[in-house]
Amino acid sequence: MKFAFRIIALLGIVLLLFGLQCSLYAQNPPVVTDPPVYVTLSNKYIQFRIGVRGMYEVTDIDGKKVKYPVAGRWGAVALEGDPETPDDNNQALIYAGSWPYGTDLANFAAFRIKINNDNPVIVGSGSGAWIKPFLLVDAPVLGKGRYGPYIEGEWSVTPAGAVAAPVIVKAHISLVRDAVRMELTILNNDNTAKNIGASIFGDIYLSGSCINNYPFLPGVGLSRMVGRPDQHYGSNLTGAKIPAAIDWYDNIDDPVSVVRNTIRGHDCVVPDYFTIGNYADLTTNVWLPDDYTPNETPIFDEMFTLTWKQSGVMPKATKKVVTYFGMAAASSAWTRRVGARTEQDTAVLAVQGPRSLQYDSTISGIPGTEIKYPIRRLSLPGTIETSFDIKAYVYNLDVDPGRYDLENVSAYLYLPKGLRLAADSESAQQDMGFIGMNSEGAPVTWRVEATGTYSGDLEYYVSVRDPSGWQQVVSRKIMVPATKQMDLRNGYQMLCPPYTAITPTIEHMFVGWDNVAYFAKYYDPAGYGSYQTVAQLMPSKAFWVTVPSIRPGIPRNVMLSPDSSIIGEMNGSQLETQFVDLTPGWNMIGIPFLYPMYLGQLMFQNRLTYETAIFDDAVAKNWVTRTVFSWNSEKNVYDTLKGSDSYLLPWNGYWIRVRIPMTLVFRPSIYPASSVMTLPGGF
């Protein structure tokens, strides 16, 4: 048993062996005297299974047969999973996902409630009693199949001090294409108020392992440091810091299995706490946030917990929680607004495309060379031959005959600056045709390419509709690295190219500027707030520039010289940490990397005390002011950045104010499926 192994020794090799054992039993469930009873809900993408009663038998580390209860424990498995990635087929997403089990002290995935001062209890466990055991409703009666098959159950528990007035938990589980919708409605059936909270937790298990699966937290991200393994640490997020969704990756550089917990938007009930930590810290009957504090210990075995804190529930009143867990291959929409409320829609629009484009200058001049579908390489000296597919799917959830069929569905793609259709003959509008009940139509595909003049998280939109009036819109983003070109507009711009050269003057680095009239100044806070002429470009130091000959509304393409190289190159990748000294007052900075950075990823070193702190902590210490400014040359106004999840973009300049002498530390960001590949020297 996983938790027993940790009591003996917290060894990754034991966990790995146990994972192999789990796979064996998933294929050959044992026969025991009190056989486990599960209810299973599945479609072509995903399977959800939850225990009703009985015991599951496993072989422990000593070779002994041990039985564990299954009631109330849930698991999820990718069946087809990501339709573009065969390697994730039939892969568990939760530890013991095929045959869930656990004990009252260690569980891999379950729903839990806490009443007054009682210990937390697992919904469906022996701590209470079934009113209606979990049941699969796969052929709903007419009028109740609007959202497809579902599992429902009803369970009660009597709090301490009560005689016969239980708290009743009603569970409703359904599938929304490649995600599991989990809904709990908690009824206080007593005649006195109860203080009730709820939690949903799971032990992430990707690509056959529960070790080193990486969450990608907006505002935190992942940074790569030379000579150190990729690591992340526990988080206990509250309030506005809880993101719309969290994705977990089995491998950041080359992801295969990726899962998502959708926490905000749609019809979700946002938890009070979203917690990530080591399994050993979160699996027992802890109640957050009281029983867990994130520390500096790296996480090697990922577990998540959503907690809706205890609150007063009046007699005969209810408390409801809703969240989603499933695959992260697509960006999807499955709810709609009806007046003031949000309700499930009868169909899902799902949009897929690569998460990132990769930068590769090692084969300059050879366009269209494949790296990994659907990603193609960027080439030097600033031209770009990268193209990729965007696909849109519509899944009709309805199982009521004829009531919600979709006919003559059409889809339209809206692209931002920096992306365009790969062929002039390609149409932004595509026909999807008829999509009957409980089915998914064939996807439509657009071939798209990046222009190379815009970098960052570029957002595009897909809109679908049919003549009946049904429609959905989904946005999705793709991370595009900076290249050796950008569009310069009329007026002033704050620039900071993420490239350097042996001769880093503007006339040398900017092609053709030796015969162009321009103005370029940087601000020197050490020189009593004066502007100085830019003699040469310095990494991470931004400057103002304007070219009077550029006409309003007609941007001019700026291209860097072929001998310019990326900053921080090591062994053909952009890996080296960069440093820039800041003087008290306002400083003009820019990031030295080809991919954006979160504001929250900035690190500061106090040059007086040699302490270091990330951005939020540096603000709290009064080393730096929170607001960072960026000049918007299209609107001729300043944009403000305050949140840790705000992006600092390549090529852009920023104003930042520090109160004491500081060294700003830039660590290369890691984005899923991104990479920088260059020749030695960064060319």
Note the pLDDT tens digit of each residue in 368-415: 332 222 333 333 333 334 789 999 999 999 887 666 788 899 999 999
Residue with more model confidence, 23 or 322: 322
Determine the pLDDT at residue 33: 66
What DSSP state is assigned to residue 280?
H
Give pLDDT tens digits for 240-274: 999 999 999 999 988 999 999 999 999 999 999 99
Determine the pLDDT at residue 15: 34
Who contacts 28 (Cβ-Cβ below 8 Å, separation ≥6)?
none
pLDDT at 567 over 90: yes
pLDDT at 321 over 80: yes
What DSSP state is assigned to residue 365?
T
Phi, psi of 354 (to 5 degrees): -60, 150
What is the torsional sign of CA 644, 649, 650, 651?
A: negative
- Spatial distance between the Cα atoms of 375 and 565, rounded to a whole number of angstroms: 23
What is the torsional sign of CA 67, 71, 73, 77?
A: positive
pLDDT at 12 over 50: no
Determine the pLDDT at residue 232: 84
- Strands 359-360 and 676-677 turn out to be parallel
219: region left, alpha or beta (phi > 0 left; psi from -120 to 50 alpha): left
Contact between 566 and 682 (Cβ < 8 Å): yes
pLDDT at 13 over 60: no
Give pLDDT tens digits for 430-471: 999 999 888 999 999 999 998 888 999 999 999 999 988 899
pLDDT at 10 over 70: no
- Structure token digits, residue 477: 């983003």
517 residue type, one letter? A
Mean pLDDT score of the chain = 87
Determine the pLDDT at residue 25: 36
Average pLDDT of the residues in 490-509? 94
| Order of strands across the sheet that contains 612-614 | 578-582, 662-666, 603-606, 612-614
Who contacts 635 (Cβ-Cβ below 8 Å, separation ≥6)?
none
Q: List, by residue range, all CATH 2.70.98 domains of the chain.
A: 2-329
pTM (whole model) above 0.85: yes
Give pLDDT tens digits for 111-149: 999 999 999 999 999 899 999 999 999 876 666 667 889
Query: Is domain 338-480 given the CATH code 2.60.40.10 in the classification?
Result: yes
pLDDT at 220 over 90: no
Contact between 299 and 222 (Cβ < 8 Å): no
- Structure token digits, residue 503: 């001769």
DSSP H/E element including 480 = strand 471-480
233 residue type, one letter? Y
Give pLDDT tens digits for 147-193: 889 999 999 999 887 767 789 999 999 999 999 999 999 999 998 99
Determine the pLDDT at residue 244: 94
Determine the pLDDT at residue 683: 83
- Structure token digits, residue 219: 């505002």
Determine the pLDDT at residue 164: 72
Give pLDDT tens digits for 45-60: 999 999 999 999 988 8
pLDDT at 602 over 80: yes
Average pLDDT of the residues in 567-584? 92
Ordered DSSP codes for 606-630 = ETTT--EEEHHHHHHTTSB-S-EEE
- Structure token digits, residue 268: 């979700």
Question: Helices (H), strands (E): how many in the chain?
Answer: 5, 57
Q: What angle do CA 296, 198, 132 make, to 5 degrees?
A: 140
Residue 320: CB atoms within 10 A of its CB come to 14
- Structure token digits, residue 238: 């509250």
384 residue type, one letter? I
Least confident of 18-32, 567-581, 653-667: 18-32
Name the β-bridge partners of 566.
Answer: 499
**3-state DSSP call for residue 106?**
coil
Residue with more model confidence, 10 or 318: 318
Measured CA to CA in angstroms, residue 250 lies from 87, 206, 532 at distances of 12, 6, 49
**With the CA atoms of 342, 344, 348 and 350 taken in that order, what torsion angle do they form, in degrees rounded to the nearest 10?**
50
pLDDT at 86 over 50: yes
pLDDT at 225 over 80: no
Which numeric CATH code is attached to 2-329?
A: 2.70.98
Q: List, by residue range, all CATH 2.60.40.10 domains of the chain.
A: 338-480
Half-sphere exposure of 514 (CA within 13 A, CB side): 6
Contact between 85 and 256 (Cβ < 8 Å): yes
Contact between 366 and 379 (Cβ < 8 Å): yes
- Spatial distance between the Cα atoms of 384 and 653, rounded to a whole number of angstroms: 23
